[in-house]
C-alpha cells in the first residue's frame, strides 16, 4: 500500500472496555493495531496474551507508547476522569482520537478537547456506539417516518450486564 492507502497505525489505552477496540481494530482491513497500554501490569499481560500483542508493543505509560509508536489513531478507553488529559496528550502526539463515552467530566473539559483537536487538525470522535445499533436505527426510522407522532417526552433506562467498568 502506498502512503495514501496504507493501514492506520492504531493503539488502545485502557484494556477493560478497550478490549472491544482491540478486537475491532484487529478485524478492520484498514487498521493495524500496533500497541496497547494499561497501568495494570497483570491486565496488560493478560490482554496482550489474549490478543497476541508482542510484549515490546505493550506499555504501562501512554507517554512512552505515543513517543515510540507514532500512531495515527489512539483509542482512549480509561476511567472517565482521565478522558480529557489522555485525549489531549494523544492529540498533541499527532493522533486522531476515539474516546469512550462520556466525553468528559463537564462541558468545559469537553470544549477543551474539541478546541485542541480543531487547533491541531485532528479528528476527535466519541464512541456512542449504540447510535448505529440495529435497534437505534430502526427507532430513528420510525420517528422519521412519523410512526410515533409528535414526540414530546421520552425516557430510557439502561442495565449493564457486561461487568463494565471492571476493576
The pTM (predicted TM-score) of the whole model is: 0.81
CATH of the domain at 46: 3.40.50.720
User: Which residue reads 508482542 in cell numbers?
Assistant: 54
Query: CA–CA separation, 74 vs 91, rounded Å?
Result: 9
Per-residue pLDDT tens over the stretch 64-100: 999 999 999 999 999 999 999 999 999 999 999 999 9
- How many separate domains does the chain show? 1
Question: Residue 103: is its pLDDT beyond 90?
Answer: yes
Boundaries of domain holding 26: 8-130
Query: CA–CA separation, 31 vs 142, rounded Å?
Result: 34
- Whether residue 125 lies inside any domain: the answer is yes
- Whether residue 165 lies inside any domain: the answer is no
- Whether residue 144 lies inside any domain: the answer is no
Yes or no: say if 103 and 77 are a contact pair by the CB < 8 Å rule: no
Name the nearest CA neighbour of 87 among 68, 66, 67, 69. Answer: 66
Amino acid at each position: 500500500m502506498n502512503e495514501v492507502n496504507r493501514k492506520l497505525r492504531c493503539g488502545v489505552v485502557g484494556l477493560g472496555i478497550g478490549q472491544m477496540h482491540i478486537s475491532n481494530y484487529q478485524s478492520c482491513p484498514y487498521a493495524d493495531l500496533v500497541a496497547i497500554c494499561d497501568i495494570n501490569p497483570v491486565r496488560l499481560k493478560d490482554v496482550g496474551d489474549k490478543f497476541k500483542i508482542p510484549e515490546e508493543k505493550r506499555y504501562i505509560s501512554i507517554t512512552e507508547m505515543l513517543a515510540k509508536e507514532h500512531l495515527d489513531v489512539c483509542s482512549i478507553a480509561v476511567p472517565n476522569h482521565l478522558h480529557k488529559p489522555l485525549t489531549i496528550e494523544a492529540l498533541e502526539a499527532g493522533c486522531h482520537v476515539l474516546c469512550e463515552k462520556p466525553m468528559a467530566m463537564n462541558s468545559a473539559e469537553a470544549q477543551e478537547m474539541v478546541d485542541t483537536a480543531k487547533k491541531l487538525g485532528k479528528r476527535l470522535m466519541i464512541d456512542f456506539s449504540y447510535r448505529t445499533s440495529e435497534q437505534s436505527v430502526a427507532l430513528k426510522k420510525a420517528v422519521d417516518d412519523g410512526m410515533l407522532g409528535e414526540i414530546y417526552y421520552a425516557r430510557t433506562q439502561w442495565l449493564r450486564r457486561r461487568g463494565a467498568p471492571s476493576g
